[in-house]
Chains A and B, each alone.
Chain A
């Protein structure tokens, strides 16, 4: 019997689910390996008997927690899909300013009509079994994770820094080009796509476990850059992680 799979989303752009749809361009046989029973963005049928749930998006209001907890109760395997679900992602930028200011800036005197709280990854609300990092997720990595899950294995997510992949691509180092990059402390797996297209890493895949802070500091010193610049760039996708580490 094919495992039943469902997709859900919370606060997000749904770009990771679209990447899943796009993965069918090259892996249409995926539909033979699993049965998708719930995928609101792409289909009308809604089955509630899924074993594997992929969840995209951060949690940004208390009333969404019950829906996520229900998904957790049903799913044997819960996978965080993309940066918003995995580390809070871009939504957590709003956590850097007082919530009341943020609400009034957007909704003015109607701010009270709309519920919100500090953005958080889904792991802040329920236990998560696996994650696929990135903003958006990498199509090939999604396929690798699905294959591993089908075989009952632990998903093969790299725990070394992005610089490793960047070197393998023979890119000129962003720092040597006068740019700025979070590659030394960011989890690999994206194929160093941003430096390959001329932009420094923005850290969307989150910190590697035990990042080599001393090496990062050496690189910064060598190029006349500061730790503050690293922290500031990290707030683009990692604001939640930074605030959690502080407290």
Chain B
């Protein structure tokens, strides 16, 4: 059956930011297949120039309302590497704890509120409040725990306050850590029920081999710092991130595209799972088994399942960190003092949607001379389009409605954060 298909989803819903899906086929042949990014350009790197380095994490957290802690942490790591700042054990524990809070927060938002409605045949989570109230209340409960965990350490989740170069401007008390630990223990039941719910969902069956890229560390499932690792074989120091990202402008997108060894690569929870699955907490590995997730999984729709696995991991690792903090106590520590010597540094973190790079050059006056941020969603855009091109011919006979839904679900599975992705640059560091 010859197919003429014209799909134009103007502003895909239940994703962060503005993107359009455009597909045209003629007589069954794919003529056009694009994920257009129409978000306004934002120019964050240009805005950082001339600002004191102390403002950088507060300005760049405003790149994204969902992964503000991820941007703040990556920004701080870039400044700390530029200025040669070593972190105390206490700072590392608190940085990791707030980071897990954000992974949990972002993944529960994406899996429950943005992805799940597709499987219940509703347009949003709102109708589920009356038809499946236990599911919605559980999602809100997990989200509140994650938000409260971030707020305990950072002051609030969206745009954290207390995170600063070298440490924190405010510390939680051990009693507060005990209280949040008790809630994390309670949340294990919600995690079990989350796994039970998501393992019943009929994930679309579609696979396409691609390259996966994530940070890895010898001793833990990497979120903050690590070596850039790819499934095509390749390890890079974060300072060499440009060798992996190779950004280029494309006319139909205000966000740039990236490519490493192939035409595209994928970052995010599925990439992390594929590369670092052995380091997951045992409970998270059990969750992966229950969800039918096995490395190397090449079904992009399973990115949401990998997020569920990471939610379990985040809860368990957070409990471990709370135990360490309770055992060692929390002490006031002197913040870093600038010594009149600038430098250049890269921060690399696995934020909810994948690996994020911030790269700053800081002058001896403490002001930022050059800045570059490379966002996970940017790195996924070319891979989303490659998936679309492979998927459409497989399902073209199902008619426009089903093809549209499958493509929207595909885009959503990547959990794109489009506001984040639209402010890139090609500045040469000297």
Question: Measuring CB to CB, which residues of chain A are less than 8 angstroms from any residue of chain B?
Answer: 10-19, 21-22, 24-26, 28, 31, 36, 39-46, 60-61, 64, 89-91, 93-94, 97, 101-103, 105-108, 110, 113-116, 135-136, 193-194, 196-199, 202, 236
CA distance A46 to B64 in the complex (A): 24
Whether A116 pairs with B155 at a CB distance below 8 angstroms is no
Complex Cα spacing A115 to B144, Å:
38
Complex Cα spacing A44 to B10, Å? 12
> How many residues from B make CB contacts under 8 Å with A?
61
Query: CA–CA, A173 to B155, complex, Å?
Result: 18
In whole angstroms, how far apart are the Cα atoms of A26 and B169 in the complex? Answer: 28
Chain A residues in 8 Å Cβ range of B65: 12-19, 136
Are the C-beta atoms of A43 and B14 separated by less than 8 Å? yes
Known contacts A24-B140, A135-B62; A14 and B162 CB within 8 A of each other: no
Does B41 sit within 8 A of A, measured CB to CB?
yes
> Is A107 in contact with B425, judged by CB distance below 8 angstroms?
yes
| Structural contact, A13 and B113, CB atoms closer than 8 A | no
Residue of A nearest to B159 (CB): A136
A108-B16 contact given A14-B65, A31-B126, CB 8 Å threshold: no
B423 touches A (CB below 8 Å): yes
Q: Report the Cα distance A39→B143, complex, angstroms.
A: 19
30 contacts between A and B (CB under 8 A): A14-B16, A15-B64, A19-B65, A19-B158, A21-B109, A31-B129, A36-B126, A40-B11, A41-B14, A42-B113, A42-B126, A60-B42, A94-B46, A94-B47, A101-B46, A102-B46, A103-B43, A105-B46, A105-B425, A106-B46, A108-B426, A113-B249, A135-B159, A136-B158, A136-B159, A197-B162, A198-B161, A198-B162, A198-B170, A199-B162
Mark B1-32 against chain A: 1 for CB-CB distance below 8 A, else 0.
00000000001011111000000000000000
Distance to closest chain A CB from B387 (angstroms): 21
Contact (Cβ within 8 A) B40 A64: yes
B251 within 8 A of A: yes
State whether A107 and B63 are in contact (beta carbons under 8 Å apart), knowing that A10-B40, A42-B113, A94-B47 are contacts in the complex: no
CA of A188 to CA of B109, assembled, Å: 30
Contacts across chains A and B counted by CB atoms under 8 Å: 167
Top 6 closest pairs, chain A to chain B, by CB? A15-B65, A198-B169, A43-B124, A197-B155, A44-B123, A93-B47
A110 engages B49 (CB within 8 Å): no
Residues of B near A40 (CB, < 8 A) are 11, 13-14
In the complex, per-residue mask of B37-52: 1 if CB is within 8 Å of any chain A CB, else 0: 0001111011101110
Q: How many Å lie between the Cα of A105 and that of B424 in the bound state?
A: 9
CA distance A41 to B17 in the complex (A): 7
B425→A11 contact, CB < 8 A: no
Write out the residue numbers on chain A whose beta carbons fall within 8 Å of the beta carbon of B140.
Answer: 24-25, 28
9 new A-B contacts at CB < 8 Å, known A103-B43, A197-B155: A11-B42, A28-B140, A40-B14, A44-B123, A91-B42, A93-B51, A94-B43, A116-B41, A193-B161
> B86-133: which residues lie under 8 A (CB-CB) from chain A?
109, 113-114, 117, 123-126, 129
| Complex-state Cα separation, A61 to B422, whole angstroms | 14
Q: How far is the CB of B79 from chain A (nearest CB, A)?
A: 16
B168 at the A interface (CB under 8 A): yes
The chain A residue with its CB closest to the CB of B157 is A22
* Cβ–Cβ contact B425 & A90, under 8 A: no
* A14-B65, A18-B66, A42-B124 given; A28·B40 CB < 8 A: no
Chain A neighbourhood of B15, CB < 8 A: 41
Alpha-carbon separation in the docked complex, A194 to B426 (Å): 34
How near does chain B come to A231, taking the closest CB pair, in angstroms?
A: 14
Which residues on A sit within 8 Å (CB–CB) of B64? 13-15
What sequence of 0s and 1s flags, for each residue 136-151 of chain B, a beta carbon within 8 Å of any chain A beta carbon?
0000110110010000
B123: chain A residues at CB < 8 Å are: 43-45
Question: B47, B49, B66, B140 — which one has the most chain A CB atoms within 10 A of its CB?
Answer: B47
- Could you tell me if B425 and A106 are in contact, using CB atoms closer than 8 angstroms? yes
B55 at the interface (CB under 8 A from A): yes
Tell me the nearest residue of chain A to B52, going by C-beta.
A232
| B residues 45-85 touching A (CB-CB < 8 Å) | 45-47, 49-51, 55, 58-59, 62-66, 68
Chain B residues with Cβ under 8 A from A202's Cβ?
58
B254 at the interface (CB under 8 A from A): yes
Partner of A107, one of B68, B158, B249: B249
A193 touches B40 (CB 8 A): no
Which of these, B113, B168, B254, contacts A114 with CB under 8 Å? B254
Distance of A202 from chain B, by nearest CB (Å): 7
